[in-house]
Amino acid sequence: MAVKGFLQGFAKKPPVSAVISTAADPQLRLEVLDEFEKAGIGWIWATDAEGRLIYISDDAVTKLDIPLEELLGQPLISLFETDSDNPDERSDRPLNFQLKAHNKVRDLTVRFARNRPRNDVRQVWFSISGHPKFDDRGQFHGYRGSAQDISVEYERKLVDSRLAEFDSLTGLYNRHFMNRRLDGIIGAFKQAKRSCALMMLDLDKFKRVNDTMGHPAGDALLVQVAERLRNIVGNRGEIGRLGGDEFQIILPDIDDRGKLGELADKIIQILSQPYPIEEKRAIIGTSVGIAIAPYDGVERDELVRSSDLALYAAKNGGRGQFRFYSDDLKDEEQERELLLEDLRIALEAGDLELRYQPVVKTSDNSVVCLEALMRWEHPERGPVSPDVFIPVAEESDLINQIGEWALQRACVDAMAWPSSVRVAVNVSAVQFTNPEFCNVVSAALAHSGLLPDRLELELTESVFVGDSETTEAVFTDLKKIGVRLALDDFGTGYSSLSYLRSAPFDKIKVDRSFVDSCTQKDKNSAKIIAAIIGLSNALGMETTVEGVEAFDQLEVVHSKGARLIQGFLYSRALPQADVLELMANGGMKIEPDGPEMYRPERRSVFRRIGVIHDDHRYDVVMRNLSKTGALIEGIMGVPVDTQLVLDLGAGQLVVGTVSRVNNLEIAVEFETSLVSDGAGGLCTRHRVSPYALAIAGMPLTSLSPGNYPHERMSDGAKSAPKFMQVVVNGSGGAV
């Protein structure tokens, strides 16, 4: 009977018994099945008890473009696989599991695995269902099932899913994906006791690019930032753009703070390289906050908050820095607002001060210039570094007010100096782009009576961000006024020779970072200093080398052609009264005075820490700290060559050997050097878990509080202490 006749017969409403008889007709069932398959609504499949394909519809054979004889007899699981990108199905190869368990399969999305390579975009997806067939004795005989081609719908769903996980501008992951990914990693790592680092970063001065070059330029810059991050991070982690200029990097299985610091420093350096945009150049920076699970948080929200606090601390520390999370970090956003308000009050109350560091000519030690450096003594915080409060001021209009005050004050003070001595004033990029800046400079000169060529404005390459025509116009106006221009911090970041070609600089200042390492044979710093001085001489410019603190450094930079030196070897920054006294007592000449050899800074501290020996912990005071050792007080009777473990807190244990003993003072040399914490401090590369200590036979109670991968274990019986504990007061004496 044809399908048409069947439908007509059904329309005549035959008795129920007739319907049952017709539906049971084998010939009719075959015809209906045949019509169903030909209509393309779906197709039928079946397997034997071993899971091999024994039947498949002709339409499916045609669609799959595989000969029937190659399909029949093949295991079904070798023909179809679950798609790992399936937005609705996240388990691993569930089809295989379901078939082996003889479970019902219902609307499972699978991909035909044999027709095209996996990276071929022309894939075929099916929604597959099946029921296991058992006989009366419960013996399994295979599957009987159906399937539908859902390639078009599924591909659309895949695109929508990917759009929901990726940032449309940069192609990086978005906040939604990063949150879900971080949840998954932390959950899995928590069980396996593994670590995961999280970096948060945002771009410094990005708002200026948007304001001066327009939002399309800002978008183009973000695309370039994303590409640089991909190149830096590679396959070590996953990168996301959370929105605006905020980025996040997940780095599984990394807890080495030395490696993390190196990676963060590389990100800062590379992202600070100029960006070519529409035949212009944009310059930004970045700050990075780093937190590590499980030490800084065992849940996503905790880890994100810790990395956020570290980021705020990096920004408040002067920007262009990285910072690791520590328990003493406060709400930096609130701290910044309080600091800004205190800075407003300090400016109005006259609490800001200028101090002047001499620039000395090496041929006769005469002072040719004094650089004005701003100082702020906070009534509660104590001295606040310009690296801290200037970036805060730059985020508001306060920087223009502070800059105007500094120009006026410096010009007035310079009038009391010999006419041969210039004054140098640092100018923020925000000040430089202020339309009134040139008028402010002219007013300061007019008010003080200072000759224009005695005023030197120190600028950094960040002034070149934005409209080049406006920048060139400001340079032209400043040269008309007659002031001198110096390019500060030259050689750091990615200084460009085009700055020297396009801007009328009178001086280049070599950054102190090259001087710090110029005496080290394995560094190229001395050669770079020589190259910068040679370039400056060729362009008819002066060169000042900053940061000279020892005679061995002076000898190196002088041999490379340096004629103007600035640094502690000659003088620190002086108040105006001391400058005037210096002039009155012998003119403007300063003899160099300082150490013969430069040594990296050894920080003086007064900090209570723990020292572990055998199964005992002693409370001591740490007097100074360097990368390679420390000076401690608080225990007596410790012989030279004794091995100690210093507990610096938060799981930071440092193995060291006693190298010198002088009464209460004990010098300890570290087995492994400390690394930078990004904020001028030092930290251990790794933090130690109580579990690792237990394996080493060390006391678990010695660790400071914190989140660790393993639970604490109870101590066993302790031996008698070998050293005598003494109490040390703040002045260094025993109590």
Proportion of the chain in helix, strand, coil states, percent, rounded to 5: 40, 25, 35
Calculate the alpha carbon distances from 51 to 133, 229, 412, 589, 649 in Å.
Answer: 12, 48, 94, 96, 60
What's the token pair of residue 708? 């660790």
Q: Name the one residue in this structure whose structure tokens are 């508001």.
A: 396
What residue ranges of the chain have pLDDT lower than 50?
1-21, 84, 87, 89-93, 117-121, 494, 690-691, 694, 699-715, 731, 734-735
- Assess contact for 395 and 316: CB atoms under 8 A: no
Determine the pLDDT at residue 424.
96
Yes or no: say if 225 and 246 are a contact pair by the CB < 8 Å rule.
no
Q: Which one-letter amino acid corresponds to residue 506? A: D
Contacts of 276 (CB under 8 A, 6+ apart): none
Alpha-carbon distance of 666 to 630, in angstroms, equals 8
Kindly state the tokens that stand for 328. 């003493």
The side-by-side arrangement of strands in the sheet containing 80-82 is: 53-56, 43-47, 140-149, 125-134, 105-112, 80-82
In the chain, DSSP finds a helix count (H) and a strand count (E) of: 25, 32
**Dihedral angle of Cα 644, 650, 651, 653, to the nearest 10 degrees:** -20
Residue 249's closest CA among 202, 205, 285? Answer: 202
Give me the pLDDT at residue 652, please.
86
Res 588: pLDDT: 79
Q: What is the mean pLDDT of the chain?
A: 82
Q: Which two tokens stand for residue 165?
A: 């996980």
Beta strands at 629-633 and 635-636: parallel, antiparallel or unpaired: unpaired
Which of 25, 60, 66, 29 shows the shortest CA–CA distance to 46? 60
Tell me which residue has tokens 């950094």: 460
DSSP string, 303-333: HHHHHHHHHHHHHHTTSS-EEE--TT---HH
Domains and CATH numbers, the chain: 40-158 (3.30.450.20), 166-329 (3.30.70.270), 350-584 (3.20.20.450), 603-725 (2.40.10)
**Are 626 and 600 within 8 A, CB to CB?**
yes
What single-letter amino acid sits at 299?
E
Give the Cα separation of 141 and 50 in Å (integer): 8
Contacting residues for 649 by C-beta, under 8 A, at least 6 apart: 609, 704
> b/e string for 372-387 if b means 16 or more Cβ within 10 A?
bbbebeeeeeeebeee
Alpha carbon distance 659, 355 (integer Å)? 41
**Contact indicator for 293, 307 with CB cutoff of 8 Å:** no
**DSSP 3-state of 411:** helix
Nearest to 453 by CA among 428, 474, 431, 480: 480
Cβ neighbours of residue 454 closer than 8 Å, sequence gap 6 or more: 414, 419, 421, 422, 423
DSSP-assigned letters across all residues of 422-446:
EEEEE--HHHHTSTTHHHHHHHHHH
What DSSP string runs through 204-249?
ETHHHHHHHH-HHHHHHHHHHHHHHHHHHHGGGSEEEEEETTEEEE
Residue 88 contacts residue 105 (beta carbons within 8 Å): no
pLDDT of residue 91: 43
Query: Other CB atoms closer than 10 Å to residue 33's CB: what's the count?
Result: 12
Q: What's the distance, CA 262 to chain centroid?
A: 10
**R_g over Cα of the chain:** 36
Q: Are 131 and 145 in contact (CB under 8 A)?
A: yes
Least Cα distance to 77 among 60, 100, 61, 58 occurs for 100
Asked if 280 and 241 count as a contact pair (C-beta separation under 8 A), the reply is no
For residue 217, the tally of other CB atoms under 10 A from its CB is: 18
Among residues 300, 299, 198, the alpha carbon closest in space to that of 251 is found at 198
Kindly state the helix (H) or strand (E) to which residue 80 belongs, with its residue range.
strand 80-82
- How far, CA to CA in Å, does 72 sit from each of 75, 99, 115, 133, 232? 9, 17, 15, 19, 50
Q: Are the beta carbons of 75 and 51 closer than 8 angstroms? A: yes
Residue 47 CA to residue 55 CA, distance in Å, equals 7
Residue with tokens 């041999």: 559
Residue where the block lists tokens 């070897």: 569
Determine the pLDDT at residue 617: 84
**CB count, 10 Å around CB of 460?**
20
